[in-house]
A and B are shown apart, each in its own frame.
Chain A
Amino acid sequence: MKSWAITTTNIKRLMRDPSTIFFVFVFPMLLILVLGASFGGGFTPKVGLLLEGQGEFARAFSDELTSDDDFTTVDYDDRDLLLEDVERGVVQMAVVIPADYDTKIMSGQVAEIEFVGRADQSVVQYRSTIEAVVAGESAIVRAARLLETEGLNSFEEGTTLARAMATGSTGPEVEVQTMGESLFGEDLGQFDLGAPQQLILFVFLTSLAGSAALIQTRRLGVSRRMVSTPTSIGEILVGETGGRFAVAMIQGLFIMIGAAVAFEVRWGNLGGASALLILVALVGAGGGMLMGSLFDNDEQAGSMGVFMGLGLAALGGCMVPLEIFPDTMQTIAHITPHAWALDGFAELIRRGGTIADIALELAVLAGFAAVLLALGTWRLRAKLTH
């Protein structure tokens, strides 16, 4: 009961701090969104399409582009607006079919299609896809021109015939084979990779930086005053640990549920994901207790907490996926609890693992939690009574 009073007071104080609310709840979700949108899979580029000519060839080209699954086309009727949207990234590229497109094709001249992309690497990838559509249309025009030259059909009849032939026949196909497994799984959702990284990063970061609150309680003299009440040191330590744990759990649950609802992140086996979250929160609470008992200055502890939280996260694979680390760095990464927690989530999310499949990861995290909590409470007990 007394421990619960200490724990709930910790939570109440956290919830009253607007900056904490932002960094604990809002910022992690923003990062998941931004990283998922920028680097996650499932991204379909948008092509802005301006049809200045309305002839048969222009419409045929437009239809071909629209039916391509690699793009989403957005129709424009204002050239300036289209170019501005490319520049701002509203659409990734622009295709302009000029007014004289049909005339030039019919008269045997070279018809040009204007392609506008952003000045970065993506323009190369997008251009090749647009060129494939252009090549298809060019083949039809060349076939029609051949039939006309040979006196077999008019150009218009030849075009109709060639288009029908192109639709009904198949050309050579490139068979693509892959070797080995995909690093991140075949059906990984856009946010599935980043969400566990941000979950672990922020739970640890908040716990370590939150050690400042523990020091503040000591510096205010409230901890000593608690000792003066008929509350045992054990109850105080359980209450303070509970406070750190509860804050970590609340944040972790918010990120998990929020990411599942807002970004359709699949966390895999419920039991396994819950066990991982509980242990990550316990390790974070232990780290926060230890830092809160080692330092006497809350500002110093807060800064060190952020530094360690970010440093361990980077080393443990929360910023760059562990899978692309060199082998040696992957081994070194596993001195952090982050790497073990990420391994656990990878097993659950990407390979459909169960709680039994992550037993090793859970055991290691439990070990981290036990050691950190034991050291933290031991140090804090000494600080309170000596």
Chain B
Amino acid sequence: MNVLECEGLVKAFDDLVAVDGVGFHIAEGETYGLLGPNGAGKTTSISMIAGILESDAGTVTVAGTEITTRTTEGKAKIGYVPQDIAIYPDLSARENLRFFGKLYGLPKQSLDSRIDEVLEVIGLSDRGDDRTEEYSGGMKRRLNIGIGLLHEPTLLILDEPTVGVDPQSRNAILESVEQLGRRGTALLYTTHYMEEAERLCDRVAIIDGGKIRAEGTRRELVELVGQRDTVNLGVVGSAQRLVDALGAVEEIESITSTEGSVEILVEGASSLLPRILDIAQQAGVGISGVEVVEPNLESVFLHLTGKALRD
């Protein structure tokens, strides 16, 4: 059974169509990533999925319950971690958790013990009574996630939870997300960091311009660009002479040169690389550096949209 099913989501702000027919599903225990640059439509999509933003068209169902801004029943199954740190700075972590616990309808008897558990999970047990305005950015981020976990949701939505976080806190957050995935919580994770999507997600949707361009596992997506590797060579001497010499190699799909470097697109770079270096030596062209780039989601995104993720 799918935990989340959304279909044909559309949202326009005046003339700007921010989301245009987005639809996907997430199975139980699956971590699903929405990968796209800023302004791709990720936050607008998950705002509709979380029942925060009214959609112009489309449906969202979480564990069999339809979600809109007006429904409340299904929202108890969703944990939402917004990109902004949505906490009261003049309240402590414990007070913030208690406030949202009440809004999630947690029973009074178990609320305090659940708050203690969440503080433990996010590593803030010893600072739980301090005002959050005194916290570091990473601590605030962890509390931001903790609020989403408070009611043990069936589906946890995380909207770029590592934006603006130092590397150490970022790694801690990613480990927490991995743990949640291992525990069987279904996760919807948006990011514009290719490495995070590759590390965390079972399936990824590439989103750009409000539309999902492709969807699948990492392997499935990479196959879209034909599993070709890129070999970048730093050249001492004539790059054109090397291009001419390599022209006879059948396995090379394409080759381009700029002053001082040559870029070769090839299947199975590791096996072909010694031969390429031999040809360069025979042609009297010195090699100052070698880089082999295997296909990744970044190259998939580039292939599908014609632009880089961070553009």
Contacts and interface: CB of A to CB of B under 8 A. Distances in A.
A100 B52 CA distance: 92
A220 B86 contact: yes
A1 interface: yes
B90 A5 contact: no
Contact of B90 (A1, A6, A13, A230): A13
Interface stretch (B71-79, B118-126, B218-226, B232-240): B71-79
Interface of B: 47, 50-54, 69-70, 72-73, 75-76, 78, 80, 82, 84-91, 95, 99-100, 102-105, 147
Contact of B86 (A16, A225, A386): A225
B116 to A, nearest CB: 19
15 contacts: A1-B102, A5-B99, A9-B88, A13-B88, A220-B86, A220-B88, A221-B82, A222-B88, A227-B51, A227-B69, A228-B51, A229-B104, A230-B73, A230-B104, A231-B72
B104 A222 contact: no
Interface centre among B50, B69, B87, by most chain A C-beta atoms within 10 angstroms, is B69
Interface in A166-224: 217, 220-222, 224
A9 B102 CA distance: 11
Given A17-B90, A222-B88, A386 B53 contact: yes
Q: Which of A2, A227, A232 has the most CB of B within 10 A?
A: A227
Nearest to B105: A230
B288 to A, nearest CB: 50
Contact of A222 (B78, B87, B102, B105): B87
A230 B72 contact: yes
Given A220-B86, A221-B84, A386-B54, A229 B100 contact: yes
Contact of A224 (B78, B82, B88, B104): B82
A31 B183 CA distance: 61
Contacts of A2: 102-103, 105
- Main SS at interface, chain A: helix
A233 interface: yes
Contacts of A227: 51-52, 69
Contacts of B50: 228
Q: Ordered nearest first, which 10 A-B pairs have the shortest CB separation?
A: A221-B86, A221-B84, A228-B80, A5-B102, A229-B103, A230-B72, A225-B86, A230-B76, A230-B75, A385-B69
A228 B91 contact: no
B135 to A, nearest CB: 14
Contacts of B91: 9, 12-13
A233 B100 contact: no
A275 interface: no
B70 A233 contact: yes
A201 B56 CA distance: 44
